[in-house]
Structure formats: C-alpha cells, structure tokens
Structure 1
C-alpha cells in the first residue's frame, strides 16, 4: 500500500492538460474534465487526451502503435468517409493515447523535421544504467564463484561418501553452498535505498521514472541544460522594437508624432523625426506609420497564440463571429460545418446554425477601449536602447493569451497597441502556413487578400530568427519607402541592433513580408517551389526578455563547487545566450562582449562561412555556435569538454544536441541532459540521465528517465541496516566533493576481499566454534567427529562412542540439531 501511494504521488506530479475551445474561447483544462462534444486542439509532441473526430488538420501524422499495431506514424485526415470503413480504416479519428508527431507540416514521413527527430530518438539502443551494468557484472562473478566452490564441495563429498545418496549431497552440499554465497538481500537493499532517494526527489518536485538512475546522479560530471524554461523563468515580454529608422523603447506612438531613437555608432540619440502624414496606416483601430504598422500586423497575423479578452468592469455583447479566433479560422469553420451537417464550407457562419438562435458572448473590452489612443501608454521622454536592460512591464489586465511563451509575448505586445481581433479578421483567409520549428527557425503564413478573375493577391508574412530572415530579404521597409537591403545597405545597422539587444540578454525575433499574385486555386508547397522565400521585404525586429530564475546562479555555483561542469545548449542566438550566461554566473561577467568572428560580419548575418577559430586559453569557458560544431576537431573537443568548466552552445539543432552528448560520452563523461521540447528527445534518450521538464512535451518526457519502479520487500535483517544507512544525514561538505570517478564500481575488489576473505572467514570461524562448542559441552572429543557421519549421526546409524561415553541414535540426532542451531545463530 505504501509503495502504491508513492507511485500515485509521482503520477500527481505530471498533470495532463488539454487545449479546448468552448464557447468560442480556447482554454487549458485537465484531460479528465473533457466531455463529449469538446473541440480539442492538439499540437506536435502531445498525446491525444481522448478519442477525437478530426475536424481540421493539415498533413497530420499520429503514432498509435499501441492501438493499431502500426509501428510507423500514420497520416490522418479530416474528410468524411463511407460507413463501410471501420473506425481504424477511416483515418479521421485520433485515438486516445496516440502521439501527435506533427501537424500542419510541409513534408511527410522521415523527410519531416519531426520525422527526422523521431528517427534519431527511436533509432537508439536502450541505455542500460551504470548501476544495472555493475550489478550484472557482480552477479556473474558471484555465480561463477558460487558454482565453483559448490562443485568442489560436492565432488569432495561424493568421494567421501563413495557417491552414495547423491541427492542428499546435492541438496545439502552443492545447493546450500551456492545459495549461501549469494547476497540475497542485495536486491531488496538496493531497491529500498533507491526508493527512498526517489521519494526525496519527489518532495523536491523531481519526478523519477527509473530507480537505478538515482545511483548515476552521484557520478554526473556534466549537466547540459536548455536555457528557456530551465535556466530562465519562461516568462517572456516584448520590451522594444527596431526598424531601419531606429530603436523604439517600449511602445511606439500612434497617429501623432512618432519619436524614434536613432542611435549612431557611439550610442548618441539623433534628433527625433516626424513621420510624414501620408505614411500613416490604419491597423486594428489605430494608425501607425510604416514599418511599425507592418510589424504589428505581422505580429498579430503570423502568430499561433490565441487571445482571450477579459475585464472585470466592462462587458459588451459581441457576436461569436467577432470573437472567432482568426488564427484558427479554418478549424472553427470545420467545427461549424460538422455541427450543422452542411455540405461544403460557407464563407461566413452564424451561431444560429448551431442553436437556431443568435447567441452572444461577453467581451471584456469595448470597442472604444480597444481602439483607444496609445498616448496613455507612452514611455518617458528619456529614450535609450533596450539593451540597457530597462524593464518594460506590460499590462495584461484586460487580456490573456494561450500559446508558446514567445508567441504570447508578441501577441500581448500587439494587443496593447491595436485590436488584434479586427486585425486578424482582415487577414483571415489563410491560404498556406508553415509552423515554426527549431531547425527552420521561422514561421510563415500566406494570406489570400483579394480575387480578380482567376488570380488573387497574396500577402506573405514571416517571422523568425533575424539572421535567417535577413538572407531571404533583398529590400527593407522604412518610413520613406522601400530600400535595397544587403551588405552596406542595412545589414550593418541590423547587426548593430542585434548586438545591442542580445548583449542585454534579449531574444531577437525578425519580421518580413512580401506581396505577390498567383492563381486562386494554387496549392502552395515547398516541394513544388511555389512559395516565395527570396526577395522578401525586411520590416524589423522585436526584443523579448526572459529573465533568469532567482536561484539559477546559486545552483550554478553549487555545481562548480562540486566539480560538475555546466553546459548551456540552446537554440537562441549566441549573443543572447552569452548575456544570460553572464547573468547566471556561467561565464565570466568581466569577459567583455562576445563577437562572432565568422565570415564577413560579426553576427553571422551574411551567408559566407568564416575561418575556423580557437578557444581562448585564458578563459575556463567557451562559446560555440551550432554551425561550428561540425567543424571542431577531436583535439578541440578534448579541450572543450575536458578543460573548460562551462560551455555555451548556441543555435543548436536536435542533431547537434545529440552529437554533443555523444562527444561527451566518448570522453568517459557522465552527462545529464535537460530539455522539454520534441527537439530535445534524441539527446534526452542518449544521455545517461535524461531530465524532461514536467511542462514539456510528451515526446520529451517519454524519452527521459521518468518512470518509477518500486518493489515492496521486507527481508528484516538485511534491509533495515541498508535503510538506516540511506537515512543517515550527508556530511556537511558533500557538495564540495567532486563526482564519483567513472571507473569506480559498485562493489570493488577490496570490498569483495573484505566481505568474503576477512569478514567472511571470521564469521565462518565463529559459526564453526559455536558448532563445536555444543559437542564439547556434551563431552564429545572434537577429534572423534571427522568422517563419523558416514556411520553415525543419522537415523538407523551406529552408536557413537567418544571419551568412554556412548550416544544412542536419538541422542545423536538431538545433539546434531542443537549444533546446527548454534551454527545458524552464529550466522545471524
């Protein structure tokens, strides 16, 4: 019962939540609270919480091997099928427990990014723990020794007894000796100690899946940690913008005078300029000049987060059509289509198609409130670059967003300035979308704007890593129009802005767009090559701040004191990662600014690849970009892993994370890998200890070591001493000691010699003396005992004579039992 309670306690540490659309609003609820009729939104890396009828999906692939028996992920669709197909053949029902490996993809099978990541994860051999390997080695040694000694005793007894009564010899000679040499209490003791450790970790919100992993924690020499959500709070906020005309600290002004902080090379703000009136553009209820209006539009439209409006004081009746989540427009259209049993998809839906009467919902903010002037949120007149770590607190009193932290931060920033719902309604006809992933590093959405005959006008919005977007752009939008963009034509300004932001610990997200014409019925596809990814118009960037956790610096110092190296492995840019690393004490705060000397530009914005570089021997830390990992030599890896105490790996892909783990293992390092995303799964599974965040994806949690195995055993005399040792308080300097050596085994040769030669011989001698003492007390000469068991000391035996005394068979059996009891008491 106690073990079962521990298991249930661990299970409570991992609540399962689902994203549900109810009454036009998307919210997060517990999976057991789902009811029939709920509209559920599943994302990549999540498990399906119930049997779901797919209403809308784009090349969705689910892994349901435990249900369907198909080992590979299968593509599912939302179209209606004939009744003659079973629910398993229809491919439009997602089964409870299935794993969503990808949705809204541009490639399928192993060619998809998630497919490649899944292949990296599933293609690995299961990692056996070091404790398991050591116990297996120890058990093999004991089996060989026990069988050898037992065989010698059995053969010797056979010769003495002239091979009579072989069964008796086998039972009392061979088996007793073999079993006696095996430490039967070892499994119970080890399991009990590890269970106690697992429960202690559970009290500290650490969920352990495998008991044998607890032992390996003491040997960890390297901790490779993701940055976002692990070392930082994962509470992101947009703190400012940059475009070709300068910095914007906080929020821009609308409609009147737009003051831009244009900084020169020496950081001195230039004279504020006034935006020409003809550049103002109405967007979401407010008017902003180019390119501010375009950036806010891209923030709102090219965003998967969902904004739910709330207000305690003001409520306004609005039709559900106005509150529809435009970012999920196609999904909700499919929902209404399914519920109204209509054929085809109407252009507009009314709530009356469901309930036959017009329903309304309460919106917390009135139109006047949404379309208010931005003057109330103007920043102080003293302007400066955002890289000066100025904290801008955004008021989220009137809105809550659901999505990834960076998407939510961007959407909240835009919602503070404009009416996001109106903006999304203007761009609701989504023709094509490519979601963000850690390998592409961008998110693209194509909107169908207007139809003229057989052609339509399309607008492409894209956001992502600014250095990646910069390679796709040939023009840049300014307040005075469009200009050429390239080396000596805006790249340097972008590099300077990026450096300023990143050195302040900000994540930088770039925005770009373009407009083009194409056939109305075109089906966009990257494989076909009809998606424009070159010649785009660069708009600007935003800075997102994710502050470090309060106790991160203290934890880093504790690891350094214990001799544990800490590696930061992140997908963020090198400058951003280094800024956070300085703040948490991972690298030297006085090390100066990091400059990436790789190619023509220090921030690696152009496409040229630079020359190999070397580590600074003066520093005990190093910084490595993802694209440089493949160019490192074996000597450089030795220097990096064995001589550096801290390393920052930036802009890494799932393959590179896996490669980092493999390089550490080749150098006999015990590595603990932490992560929470699908892209972390290969490295989590490869590492000796995979640690997934509780809020991470199901794929990451399954790849990590997070299942608890508990055995309820009570062996009294052996288990309680082990438990007492486990409950003993650690020494005060335990964290000042280095990790256990890799070659240090569970049971050393010295311990074996002590147990079987020194302690074992003393214990055997004591038992033998206790055995002989019984015969001595009965007046029997010990020298008369050898080989007497051949004729005496058994039923039907002869009378035994010693020291002039005669002992009957009954007396012999009684004395023999007493001597055997004395032997057993000596063992205990």
Structure 2
C-alpha cells in the first residue's frame, strides 16, 4: 500500500485482505520434505525385511532345540536381539541431531531455518528463483545518467553520498543554470515518498536515488517541499506503473508531476520540452526517446520517465483520467543497482553444482537481461527472458514447453511467482523461491523451500517461509544449499554404515543355526555391538565437514531412494564381514574346540570390523587411503572410534566385564587372526563400489 490517506477501519486481523492472504497460506497443506518421504519408504521396506528374517531365525531355533518353554524363550530372545541389532533405531535421533547441528551452522552463516527438515531439502534444490533487487543486487540505487534535450548527462558519485558532478559530452555543467535539468530533478524529488537525511534513505531505494541526485544539484529536499507543497496524489500501482503528485507552485498555480515506466509515460505524453520550449511530441520523437531508453536499459540501468501537466486552478477532482493524460515529457533518469560481487561467484558455484538460477524482477526486460548477463546467468543461446504480460498470454501448455529455458522474468507481479513455482514443480524440479512482500506468501508456501528476507521481508512472508536470509544476500542462500547437501550426505553415511554392518549378524546366526551349531553371537553381545560400536562413532558422522566436491556434483535425483548407488558397497561389506565372522567362529569351534573362545573371537571380529569399515563410509568417492589428512578433520569421530576400539579390546581382560558378556581372554595368535579379518573393512573401497549396479533395480 502506498500513499497517504485518512481511513475508516472496517475490519482487523484475519478479516483484512492481508489477513485473508495469511489465512490462505495457513490453510495450505503442509508439504512433506523429500527426506521424510524417502525415510518413510526406507523404513517400511526395512521393517518387512527384518521381521521376515528374524521370524525365520526364530523358527530355526525352535526346529533345532524343540518347542520347550526354555527353547522358545531363548529363540525369542535371539530373534529380538537380532531385530534390535538390525533395526537402525538411532536413525530418527541421528536425523534430528544432524538437522539441528546443520541448522545451527547455517544460522551462523545468516541463513535461519524455521522448519528443521528444510535444512536437508536445501541440498536437493534444482532451481533457485531469486528477486533481483537487494538479493542479487546491493539494493542501493544510484542515478548515473539523465536523458534530456536529445543528449545524455552523466552523473558521478557512489551510493547515497550527496556528492557528484554532472557532465554532458565530457563538459562539466551546472544544473542550477539549466532550467530543463532542474525541472527533471525537481519532478523526481517531489513525486516521491522517501526521505533523505544526508546519509541514509528512509523509504524506497529507487525514490531515494531520485532525491540524492537532486541534492547533488544543490536542490534541498525540505526547501523544495516547502516551495511546492503537495495538494494531492495518485499513488503508484503496479497496474498503472505510474505515480502522480499534485503541487501548488510558488506562483499559486497547480501542477502535476508524474514519474513511471518510460514506455507508459511516453504513451501518455503529447508534448515534449526541447531547449526549454514545449513542442509537439511526434511519433518520430517518441521512437527516438524509446530507442535511447532501450539502449540505456540494455546497459542494466533501471529507467524512469518524468513528465508534468499544468492543471486548471479550479480543478478539485484529481482522477487518473483527468490528470494522467496529455502530459509534457521532460526526460529520463537512469539508475543502477549494482550486482553483488558475491552473487556472481555464487551463481558460478550453482552452475558447477547443476543448479539453475532464475531472476525475478519488476525492472524493464532489457535491464533485467543486462544484469543477468553481468551475473553470468544468460550465457546460453537458448536462454529466454519473459515479461509478466508475455507470461499471462501463454497457455499452460505453451508455458510448460519453455519454462526450463526461462532465466529472467521481468515486469512481473507477486502473483506471477505462484504460477512460476507450480510450473517448475510440475517438471519435477525442487524449487527454492525468495520473496519479501505479503503477496509473495502463497508462492513461498508452495515452493519446496520458501526463502524470506530478514531485512526487507514482511511478517507474513517470514511466517510462510521455510528459511529467512538475515542479510538478504543471494550468496547466503547458495551457502545454505551447500550446507543442505552436507546434511544429506551425513545422513546417508550413517545409513550406509548401519546397513553394511548390521545384517551380517542375521546371516551368520541363521547359517550356523541351520547347520546345527549353537549361536555364534549371544544376545548380550549383539546388544553391546548395537549400542557401543554402532553408537558414538556412527553418530559422530553427523558432524563430518562437507566434502570438497559437494558443490561440484549435480543435484541428486528427487526420485532416487535414500540408499541409491550404495547397494554394491553394502553387499561387499556384508559378505566380507559375514565371511570373517564365520572364519572366527569356525576357528574357535573346530581348531580350538572351545565354544566360549569361538563366540569371543566372533564378537570381537564383528565389533572391530565395524570400527574399521566406518572409515570408508565417510565419502562416496574416496576411501580412507585417499582422504589423507582429511581423515582427522572430525575430531569427535576420531576420538569416539579410538575410545570404542580400546574399550572393546579391553573387555575380555576385565574379569567383571568378561563374565557379564560371556567372553574370555585371547592369545596373541587368536587376537591377530581377529584383527587381520577385521581390518579387511579398510579395503571396502567406495571409489570402486559406489554407483555400480549388481541388479537392475540397485
């Protein structure tokens, strides 16, 4: 809402138009994140497999030992212990811890996560739709060029500094001596709702730039407003693309000052000032002005046209139809909001990561395209720029055909954003959308990741968003995507480790039980492995630092399962560990003829193998041998693995603990065999096994 008025309050809160938007946003179904969908599918499949296998082992125990009460209880306890071992019951806690730690890290980078699961969803983003002003650009408009009398006037100065000079054809000019230039600057300063205190702007940055350039010409804002008091106004609207203010002149006359989109202003003008003379604004002259406007717009300048109209002294009804027609064209003001340097780097990083960048702006199409090219967004001949008007003319089918090629949306309204989001999601994209206004809220809610602005954003937009950028910076959003990818990687590491190591116990126990032998692992030993070796070291994976290539990989396939590409790695690990456990048990049973030593060796081999293979679960492309010093970056991981290894190694040699776990001390030879078989976990190399297909569905 813009302008000034006296209003009668007819409704408040949720009954207002803003309240209705907020209500519509709240009524939208809460979207499930890609991670939650994948975990649901994973949990169902895993549950069916584990229940089935444990049921089979329970039946085998009954067949082997009979249906007596003791045999049934022992078989049931074994099946339950195996189920507890196989089920990654720590997964929900680990996911929450990983997301929480990731959200804390992102908050330190000015990305505040409002919904915890969204921290991971960021990592799967395939398209980022960002507002230009303040996000891709600095948000500090500066008037650099003026167009009057068929010539370009250059204006020096940076940002909101009130110092600058005016040059035409490389000659310094004094604005106070040029009535035409003075009129142009006066219109910009008075048809304006912002305020300037000499250092900062209070209000819209575009309007602030118009005041600053007038101050550079020694025109005092307060003096101007006193000399030309405002009588009435027609506030700016995105439909009209104009703003008009009516003033009393020092001579007591009434005059309308109009600013707005040049193409709209020019259509409404019938005269033009040239050399301080009002002449007819012919079609040829209009085309010449439009050509200069397009030339400046193509250089990334935001263009505003300025015009005026003398009004009858007795006019009291200041309507659009009366005031905003038959105007006198004065000139153009060209301003620029320079792109953020870090935004260009962030966009380049997105390209490496396979993420598409889309700019959304209210600027002229040519201005938006110039900024996009400067940022490196439009570097393909197939890239398209669309205006809001062009978008409205397209049918849904026509738009669906080109939506993948559109990288710039110019002259769009907030409601167009919703259409853009829905079209991209229909294509299977994971969409991040930025916004700061109340009308942006539906699009933010509909997007997979709604991103509100912390500085310029409204409360409604922040409420609808999944994430808030505290510094309104595009680079922060891209850094958050990097953090989201790291979070997902760490969750996959944990799942890969658990599935690689937990199922061997089912195979070993099932196979030896079928063969008529006693249990290779006792229930209490299984629970120890599950709680200790599967505990702190695995949880430490949640704080692993991001991989060096995390933003050099394409976005993951939204349809791919959570353990996509890791089946062969898990299968090899499962078979190697099962073979090692069976060798240890067979050595104890057949060579040593000692069941207790057999279970001790099997227990230690399983525990140590998991602690060794864990090192190869930290990367999908590099084994422990290639990570080098990066192996030691996560100190919590290193300390937890070492501590668990030492504690497990000491168990057989501490009487009270060895008795509790039904294990006995081993000789050097026996321990050497256990460690030799366990250390094979260091040779389950992810760079050889990841992404390989064993069966078509893997």
**Which bracket does the TM-score occupy, shorter chain normalised?**
0.5 to 0.7
Q: 1:622 aligns with which of 373, 378, 384?
A: 384
**CA RMSD across the alignment:** 5.1
- Residues 122 and 173 (structure 1), Cα distance of their counterparts in 2 relative to 1, 3 Å cut: same
- In the alignment, the residues of structure 2 paired with residue 467 and residue 152 of structure 1 have an alpha-carbon distance, to the nearest angstrom, of 78
Distance verdict in 2 for CA 1:428–1:822, change over 3 Å = farther
Pair 657,778 (structure 1): closer, same or farther in 2 beyond 3 Å:
closer
Query: CA contact under 8 A between 1:240 and 1:247: conserved in structure 2?
Result: yes
1:234 to 126, 139, 144: 139
Question: 1:330-385 CA deviation, whole Å, 9 max, x = no partner?
Answer: xxxxxxxxxxxxxxxxxxxxxxxxxxxxxxxxxxxxxxxxxxxxxxxxxxxxxxxx
- Cα offsets for 1:367-412 (capped at 9, x unmatched): xxxxxxxxxxxxxxxxxxxxxxxxxxxxxxxx54322221211111
| 2:309 match | 514
Tell me the equivalent position of 2:636: none
Which residue does 1:207 correspond to in 2?
112
Query: Cα 1:818–1:305, aligned 2, differ >3 Å: closer, same or farther?
Result: same
Give the alignment partner of residue 225 of structure 1, picking from 126, 130, 134: 130
Structure 1 residues 729 and 697: alpha-carbon distance in aligned structure 2, compared to 1, 3 A threshold: closer
Match in the other structure for 2:151: 246
Q: CA offset at residue 296 of structure 1?
A: 2.4
Q: Does 1:666 align with 2:426?
A: yes
TM superposition shift of 1:517: 4.6
How many residues matched?
A: 537
Separation in structure 1 between the aligned mates of residue 46 and residue 16 of structure 2, nearest angstrom: 45
The alpha carbon displacement at 1:531 in A equals 6.4
Structure 1 counterpart of 2:209: 409
Name the structure 2 match of 1:739. Answer: 555
| Counterpart pick for 1:194 among 99, 117, 127 | 99
Richer in helix (by share): 2
User: 2:342 — aligned with what?
Assistant: 551
Between the aligned partners of 2:75 and 2:166, the Cα distance in structure 1 is 97
1:706 and 2:595 aligned: no
1:639–1:561 Cα change, 3 Å = farther
1:211-360 alignment runs, 5 A limit: 211-250=116-155, 288-290=178-180, 292-309=181-198
Deviations 1:605-627 (A, max 9, x none): xxxxxxxxxxxxx8142222222
CA distance in structure 2 between the aligned counterparts of 1:170 and 1:475, rounded to whole angstroms: 98
CA distance in 1, matches of 2:399, 2:33: 25
Distance 1:764 1:216, change over 3 A: farther
Counterpart residue number, 1:492? 287
- Aligned pairs for 1:378-527 within 5 A: 399-417=199-217, 418-434=219-235, 436=236, 438-447=238-247, 458-485=254-281, 487-488=283-284, 490-517=285-312
Residue aligned with 2:551, SS: helix
Tell me, yes or no, if the aligned pair for 1:502 and 1:575 is still in contact at 8 Å: yes
Map of 1:163-182 to 2, 5 A cutoff? 181-182=86-87
2:460 counterpart of 1:684: no
The answer to whether the 8 A contact 2:300-2:367 is kept is: yes
Q: How does 1:35-46 map to 2 (within 5 A)?
A: none
CA contact (8 A) 2:115 2:467 kept: yes
TM-score norm. by structure 2 comes to: 0.63
Partner Cα distance (1:473, 1:404) in 2: 26
Which structure 2 residues correspond to residues 564-603 of structure 1 after superposition, within 5 A?
Answer: 564-588=355-379
Which consecutive residues of structure 1, in runs of 5 or more, have no partner in the other structure?
1-42, 45-54, 65-70, 75-100, 102-108, 252-257, 262-268, 276-282, 310-398, 589-617, 783-816
Match of 1:265 in 2: none
- Secondary structure of the residue that 1:736 maps to in structure 2? coil
| Aligned counterpart for 2:352 among listed residues 549, 561, 568 | 561
Contact 1:640–1:647 (CA<8 Å) still a contact in 2? no
- 2:470 is equivalent to residue 654 of structure 1: no
Contact 1:507–1:572 at 8 Å: present in 2 too?
Answer: yes
Superposed CA offset, 1:744-771 (max 9, x none): 222349659948994799499779969x
| Displacement of 1:293 | 3.6
Corresponding residue number in structure 2 for 1:22? none
Distance 1:626 1:689 in 2: 23
8 A Cα contact 2:243 2:258, kept in partner: yes
Residues 288, 681 of structure 1: alpha-carbon distance in 2 compared, 3 angstrom cutoff: farther
1:188 is displaced (CA, Å) by: 2.0
SS at match of 2:112: coil
**Which residue does 1:254 correspond to in 2?**
none
1 CA distance for matches of 2:303 and 2:407?
22
| Counterpart-to-counterpart distance in 2, 1:178 and 1:521 | 85
